[in-house]
Chain A
Amino acid sequence: MNGKLGKGLLVILFGVLLIFAWHLQANDGKAQGEKHPDVDFSISCTECHQEVTPEIVAQWKSTKHGMMNFGCYMCHGDGQVEFKAKPDTDNCLNCHTGEPVDASKGGNLQCFSCHKNHNLKFHQ
């Protein structure tokens, strides 16, 4: 292999890695390789999180989502087949269809940009 070809291959390899890294960045938690800790999956999310992150469960319960029992899995995945530590907002739109947003606030707005924390309070 001559030096020129080697350099060319390196450039291509670097490019591929760059594209791959960008792809990971652009995708959801699953693609980023996020993994839920190995726990006893025979118990439900809320049952466990009631013990390990009670403040988060309390926040969630205080919302209408909590009242309707829209569980952790709806945003974060089931934890085994799919897990998103930082969920995307596509799922929000399954119910909140065509909700308008004030675009003057910025470019790449997502629901969670404004509805923060597990109580999803606006601009908290």
Chain B
Amino acid sequence: MGVTRREFIKTTAAAAAAASIGTTLLPGGVKPLFAENDMEWHKSVCRFCGVGCGVLIGVKNGKVAAIRGDKFNTINKGHLCVKGFYLHKIIYAKTRLTHPMIKKNGKFEKVSWDEALNFVAKKFNEIRKAHGPDALAFYGSGQAETEETYMANKLFKGCIGTNNMEGNPRLCMASAVGGYLTSFGLDEPAGTYEDIEQAEMFMLIGTNTAEAHPIVFERIVRHKMKNPNVKILIIDPRKTPTDQVADLHLFPKPGWDLAILHAMARIIIKEGYADEQFIKDNVVFKDNKKNLTYEQYKQFLEKFTPEYASKVSGVPVEDIVKAARMFGQAKTAMSMWTMGINQRTRGVWANNLITNLHLLTGKIGKPGCDSFSLTGQPNACGGVREGGGLCHLLPAHRVVKNPKHREEVAKVWGVPVSNIQPKPGKHTVAMFEALNKGEIKGIYIMCTNPAQSLPNASKYWKGLKEQFVVVAESFFPTATTKFADVVLPAAFWAEKEGVYGCTERRSQYMPKVLEPMGEARWDAFILRDLGIRMGFKKEFEKYKTAEDIWNEYISLTKGRDLDLSGATYRRLKKERGLRWPVPSEDHPGTYKRYVKGDPIFDELSEEKKKGRWIYFYGKPEGKAVVWARPDKGPEEPTDEEFPFALSTGRVLEHWHTLTMTGTVPELNRAVPKAYVEINPEDAKALGIANKDQVIVETRRGQLKIEARVINRPKKGTLFIPWHWEEWMANILTIDAFDPGSKEPEYKVCAARIRKA
């Protein structure tokens, strides 16, 4: 798979230039800047967020020596963010876990793989025999490859026989899934990044795109610089670096933005910005109990005057009106959101209300138009949403409660269909609650750090302490490995091959370019070997390569909405990913769903397509749903005792729980520690100066941390970046969750602050 830089560029439009690296000048005396020094470059994908940037891994003398943005990947066109820039260094971090260990008498001792896997298999079998399959659980990751999650799914749901299988995308993307399913009937966006350069207007709501999805931000910036008439509306309680391109910023009180979205819908209809024909042809209306007519929906909206929305949210009336007109007047509009919308007790509803605006104005299914959820992890979409790595799902957008789905999957897995339970297992918060109660007695945690990343984290340390915990990780120690009985060293990015599926439905191949560090092994094969040792030899011994697993997975996608049958390894190794549906090896992939060019739309009967340029085939009659949802606020609103709304989030330079970025000196220099942002007016009132040590307290815990007095958070709100174990923001956050998506409300809880 390795290609030299020379070979690589030869295949591109720059062939003429590359053919003469360092020697011959091009016409006009132009030559490529620097020659290469025998570096082998391998096409891959970034390990960090869900944008899915293409990278080139430079290997020299058997070591990964460099990383570059992949100029020929249309997602990032060669650009990298500051995290991706240092990705190659993380492979050689001093904190790499290089051998299996078992905790004996309270101390980790190095053991052989045989001893470790035999021990885990024996313990898991004992628990299963004594307490049943539901006493075991798996907790995975949106950072695991699709092949890895697929193996875990088969082992736990298909062989052990429990649906207690979750992953951290429950904590970040579940509300977006719920939003797409309820609005369109199918998960994942209709559009792609290609819409960015065709959009006249962007609504960025609950997203600090500049820091959490920097390359998407870079594309928006470039687009706006070229086209100054492009309008950018931001709805976010906090001023962020994304504001550098804002035309209008609405600052709602955290958790109180639903009324704004309804008010915008009301203005859009009243002022004639709605696309009435689109609505007539393609939309139905519903509230939480019943179908509505368009008139009934309009009646529902009457409550949401700009004045009402202003009173609820704290946003000036005129800004709400301006925002609605901005959306209504633009010929094309793209909405983007992430955790500020998803991590809410009404995350699904908030998702619905964003999509409502697109459905009312017909700004969906056309170039430059989409309601486009940004994903936080590199394979949350591919491995967990598509791969079925949650407690109610099966691979390829199937669900455990559907008997046909269970049959189809059991057949491919080679297991009795009775092995797969029809009832969903425990979702993430319930799973860790069950560990606390002792209902779950053994858990396998892969590629994630829940002891730090769970909301109200310290509440769940009890269960982790008391039950049998296996952690497969590339790094050691983490907050979670402290509680482990067994740690298994996992191969890291570049030490394994596999597929990541990013935000825009694109699946991309990553090669293995070097052997795993120490005794580390590929997670998928750790699970395979554990399965064999637990007695499922027949079910697992057939998997010899990553391609074996991928081929079996894509066979399950055949004929599904996310058809990946044409995305074979052979193709993915050559191409910069493919966007599903891609039903055959000669299919180019799909830019837009639900319209011409989407193979599923194209194959609809003429009767269905009659008079329709868009058909939401996930819903009856191909009609998407505009939802009349109540404008409920957060679970824990502020009060006299806890008068501040606390929000947590990311900084550009760090990622999740610092297991990766915390090993890079440059990134630690950029942001060395956590802090709490407080508005200058609030700070003055409380006598808090910049850099003072303060105590931030919620009903769940307190944290001593440095104050940053800055005009970023709205008055009455606080913000803490959540990455550091030393300043663990999640001991403060609330574990209340959305009743639909079961995603916790990390983004809002009530807090107080005082000088330490």
Contacts and interface: CB of A to CB of B under 8 A. Distances in A.
Interface of A: 41-46, 64, 67-71, 73-74, 77-82, 90-91, 93-104, 109, 111
A103 B30 CA distance: 6
A28 to B, nearest CB: 15
A42 B672 CA distance: 6
Most buried by A among B29, B69, B666: B666
Interface string B10-27: 000010011000000110
A69 B668 contact: no
A82 B666 CA distance: 9
A69 B78 contact: no
Contacts of A82: 665-666
Contacts of A74: 82, 85, 666
B79 A69 contact: no
A68 B83 CA distance: 12
Most buried by B among A46, A90, A97: A97
A41 B665 CA distance: 11
25 contacts: A41-B669, A43-B672, A44-B669, A44-B670, A46-B670, A64-B221, A68-B221, A69-B241, A69-B652, A69-B653, A74-B82, A74-B85, A74-B666, A77-B666, A79-B669, A82-B666, A94-B67, A95-B80, A97-B78, A98-B14, A100-B26, A101-B30, A102-B29, A104-B29, A109-B33
A36 B81 CA distance: 25
A45 B78 contact: no
Contacts of B672: 41-44
Contacts of B82: 69-71, 74
Contacts of B79: 95
A94 B33 contact: no
Contacts of B671: 44
Contacts of A68: 81, 210, 214, 217-218, 221
B47 interface: no
Interface of B: 9, 14, 17-18, 25-26, 28-34, 56, 66-71, 78-82, 85, 210-211, 214, 217-218, 221, 241, 244, 652-653, 665-673
A102 B30 contact: yes
A78 B33 CA distance: 26
Closest 3 pairs (CB-CB, A-B): A104-B29, A78-B669, A73-B666
B32 A94 contact: no
Most buried by B among A45, A69, A101: A69
A64 B459 CA distance: 44
A80 B221 contact: no
A100 B17 contact: yes
Contact of B31 (A41, A64, A96, A100): A100
A14 to B, nearest CB: 30
A111 B34 CA distance: 10
Contact of B670 (A45, A97, A102): A45
Contacts of B85: 74, 91, 94-95
Nearest to B21: A98
B542 to A, nearest CB: 41
B675 to A, nearest CB: 10
Contacts of B33: 93, 98-101, 109, 111
Contacts of A45: 669-670
Contacts of B78: 95-97
A66 B17 CA distance: 31
Contacts of B56: 97
B68 A93 contact: yes
Contacts of B14: 98
Contact of B69 (A71, A78, A97): A97
A90 B17 CA distance: 19
Contacts of B67: 94
B344 to A, nearest CB: 27
Most buried by B among A77, A93, A109: A93
A49 B28 CA distance: 41
Most buried by B among A71, A80, A90, A95: A95
A64 B225 CA distance: 10
B574 to A, nearest CB: 19
B146 to A, nearest CB: 27
Nearest to B222: A64
Nearest to B671: A44
Most buried by A among B18, B28, B32: B32
A100 B66 CA distance: 20
B196 to A, nearest CB: 16
A73 B670 contact: yes
Nearest to B14: A98
Nearest to B67: A94
Nearest to A104: B29
B25 A103 contact: yes
A83 to B, nearest CB: 10
A41 B217 CA distance: 30
B32 A98 contact: yes
A93 B9 CA distance: 15
Contacts of B70: 97
Nearest to A45: B669
Contact of A71 (B32, B80, B210, B653): B653
Contact of B29 (A73, A91, A103): A103
A102 B31 CA distance: 7
Contacts of B29: 102-104
Contacts of B32: 98, 100-101
Contacts of A93: 33-34, 68
Contacts of A95: 68-69, 78-80, 85
Most buried by A among B9, B18, B25, B68: B68
B30 A78 contact: no
B30 A94 contact: no
Contacts of A91: 85
Nearest to B28: A102
A59 to B, nearest CB: 16
A104 B244 CA distance: 38
Contact of B71 (A78, A97, A103, A109): A97
Contacts of B26: 100
Most buried by B among A45, A46, A94, A101: A94
A78 B244 CA distance: 26
Nearest to A94: B68
Nearest to B668: A78
Contacts of A73: 666-667, 669-670
A92 B32 CA distance: 14
Contacts of B665: 78, 80-82
A77 B89 CA distance: 13
Contact of A98 (B71, B80, B211, B668): B71
A114 to B, nearest CB: 11
A50 B706 CA distance: 19
A110 B32 CA distance: 12
A121 to B, nearest CB: 16
A67 B669 contact: no
Contacts of B668: 78
A67 B219 CA distance: 12
A71 to B, nearest CB: 5
A69 B34 CA distance: 26
Contact of A97 (B68, B214, B669): B68
